[in-house]
């Protein structure tokens, strides 16, 4: 494994994450070589002296693979492979390999395959440089290698087009599902965060689900969606998404765009942060950068600092802004500490105007009454002598007003009593 230090990078933190990535891919690390450079070498990235050092170390250790924690061009990879006499990949290739191993759903496999083919498209020549190349001329249309390359490129483009069409179908289906949830007025809360921050463990704790969770990078890739009832009685849809990472390959972001749209279209993002990570400030910035890249940076966010059980003296608590709205919640998904406070915080962010209100409905408003019962918004009901229904309803004021307008009923005259979240 090769990890070079350039100015402006956090050498130690990046090195630790690099090793964890390799172990997540099931690789045995036999050596890590570092060094400092002002700028990458155009031909070999590392420079001739460092390349000689890596070649000797790889040969001595019997290494079958050399991984650079950097972006290598196709020509740099080919030059290094000739020198090392073994396969060479860069950081993006390593992450793509992990994704290929972990994808379980049909959609996830399609997304990973498209990302890998995008990555491979510029590196096809590697497998065919040994083939004969003939000179051009009358009656000659190029050598065997050129013909095979063109065939491969054509096959590659055809497969990529097929995958894109299949993913468009997935995107359309997801859009229909989101439209259905929007029509039922069920808000979506999407979990985002740096990989291994405990998103899936927190998702399981909130939903009672058994989604796979493990203490490793990219333990889960496939988006999982479940309904959750908050303390206020409101129902929300919780979506667990793929974890982010520094320098997430653009091929992956493009391929997973259909999945990541769950975050972009969400009503609230829970940004999960590992409270015990000494680099948590940098991790937060890196997640924010990915959210901006997928156009999700305008979605309201609630930061959730997880794993407080691993920090001595840390306690569950809620930090609010000047108006009393929650900004940060400190929890432990593993022990359950602070989860009730998190549910309350989600309700307060989604329904800042949630209140118990009395609504008087005439007999002809039976349809609106049925809607309110379907939404589980009716807390009590009495009927007067004229047949009018007196309902105590718990709904956000803006939502109740809209339902009343649609039914042609005057909204309640308010002297609201705030509901207990």
Q: Which residue has the tokens 């359309």?
A: 172
Pick the residue with more confidence: 399 or 84? 84
For the segment 37-65, the average pLDDT, to the nearest whole number, is 93
Q: Which residue has the tokens 């289906």?
A: 173
What residue segments make up the domains of the chain, in order of their start?
Answer: 2-89, 103-167, 186-350, 354-418
Identify the burial level of 296 via C-beta atoms within 10 angstroms of its C-beta, where 0-12 means exposed, 13-18 middle and 19 or more buried: buried
For the segment 271-291, the average pLDDT, to the nearest whole number, is 90
For the segment 270-277, the average pLDDT, to the nearest whole number, is 93
The pLDDT of residue 132 is above 60: no
142-151, 352-361, 371-380: which range is least confident on average?
A: 142-151
How far are the Cα atoms of 17, 46, 78, 88 from residue 73, in angstroms, in the given order? 22, 12, 9, 11
User: Closest Cα to residue 114, out of 124, 100, 126, 102?
Assistant: 100
Identify the burial level of 33 via C-beta atoms within 10 angstroms of its C-beta, where 0-12 means exposed, 13-18 middle and 19 or more buried: middle
Domains 2-89 and 354-418 share a fold: no
For the segment 365-390, the average pLDDT, to the nearest whole number, is 88
What pLDDT is attached to residue 142?
A: 47
What pLDDT is attached to residue 216?
A: 54
30-39, 100-109, 124-133, 360-369: which range is least confident on average?
A: 124-133
Digit-coded pLDDT (tens) for 248-263: 766 667 666 656 766 8
Q: Which two tokens stand for residue 26?
A: 């099931």
Strand order in the sheet with 188-193: 224-229, 235-240, 188-193, 268-274, 301-306, 326-330, 317-320
Residues 6+ apart with CB under 8 A from 93: 67, 119
Residue pair 185/375 in contact by the 8 Å Cβ criterion: yes
For the segment 392-418, the average pLDDT, to the nearest whole number, is 76
Provide the CATH topology of domain 354-418: Alpha-Beta Plaits (3.30.70)
**Termini Cα distance of the chain:** 51
Domain 186-350: CATH class, spelled out: alpha beta
Digit-coded pLDDT (tens) for 171-225: 777 777 666 666 556 788 999 988 888 888 999 999 987 655 555 555 555 577 8
Mean pLDDT of the chain: 81
As a CATH number, domain 2-89 is: 3.40.50.11060
Residues 6+ apart with CB under 8 A from 337: 308, 309, 316, 331
């Amino acid at each position: 494994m090769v990890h070079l230090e350039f100015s402006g990078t956090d050498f130690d933190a990046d090195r630790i994450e690099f090793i964890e990535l390799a172990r997540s891919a099931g690789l045995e690390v036999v050596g890590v070589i570092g060094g400092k450079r002002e700028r990458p070498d155009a031909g070999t990235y590392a420079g001739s002296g460092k390349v000689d050092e890596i070649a000797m170390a790889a040969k001595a250790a019997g290494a079958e693979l050399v991984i650079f924690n950097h972006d290598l061009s196709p020509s740099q990879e080919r030059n290094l492979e000739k020198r090392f006499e073994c396969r060479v990949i860069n950081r993006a290739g390593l992450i793509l390999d992990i994704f290929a191993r972990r994808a379980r759903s049909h959609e996830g496999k399609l997304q990973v395959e498209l990302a890998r083919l995008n990555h491979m498209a510029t590196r096809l020549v590697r497998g065919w440089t040994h083939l004969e190349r003939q000179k051009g001329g009358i009656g000659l249309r190029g050598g065997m290698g050129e013909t095979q390359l063109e065939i491969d490129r054509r096959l590659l483009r055809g497969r990529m087009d097929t995958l894109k069409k299949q993913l468009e179908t997935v995107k359309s289906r997801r859009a229909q599902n989101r439209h259905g949830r929007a029509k039922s007025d069920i808000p979506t809360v999407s979990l985002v965060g740096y990989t291994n921050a405990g998103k899936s463990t927190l998702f399981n704790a909130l939903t009672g689900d058994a989604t796979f969770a493990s203490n490793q990078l990219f333990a889960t890739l496939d988006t999982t969606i479940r309904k959750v009832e908050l303390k206020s009685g409101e129902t929300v849809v919780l979506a667990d998404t793929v974890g982010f990472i520094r320098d997430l390959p653009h091929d992956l972001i493009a391929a997973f765009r259909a999945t990541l749209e769950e975050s972009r279209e969400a009503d609230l993002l829970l940004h999960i942060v590992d409270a015990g990570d000494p680099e948590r400030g940098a991790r937060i910035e890196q997640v924010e950068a990915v959210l901006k890249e997928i156009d999700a940076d305008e979605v309201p966010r609630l930061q959730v600092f997880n794993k407080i059980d691993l920090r001595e003296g840390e306690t569950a608590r809620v930090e609010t802004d000047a108006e009393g709205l929650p900004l940060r919640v400190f929890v432990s998904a593993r022990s359950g500490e602070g989860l009730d406070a998190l549910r309350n915080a989600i309700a307060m962010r989604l329904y800042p105007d949630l209140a118990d209100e009395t609504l008087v409905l005439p007999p002809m408003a039976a349809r609106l009454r049925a809607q309110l019962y379907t939404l589980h918004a009716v807390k009590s009901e009495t009927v007067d002598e004229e047949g009018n229904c007196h309902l105590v309803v718990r709904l956000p004021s803006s939502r109740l007003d809209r339902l009343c307008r649609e039914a042609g009923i005057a909204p309640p005259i308010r002297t609201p009593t705030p509901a207990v979240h």
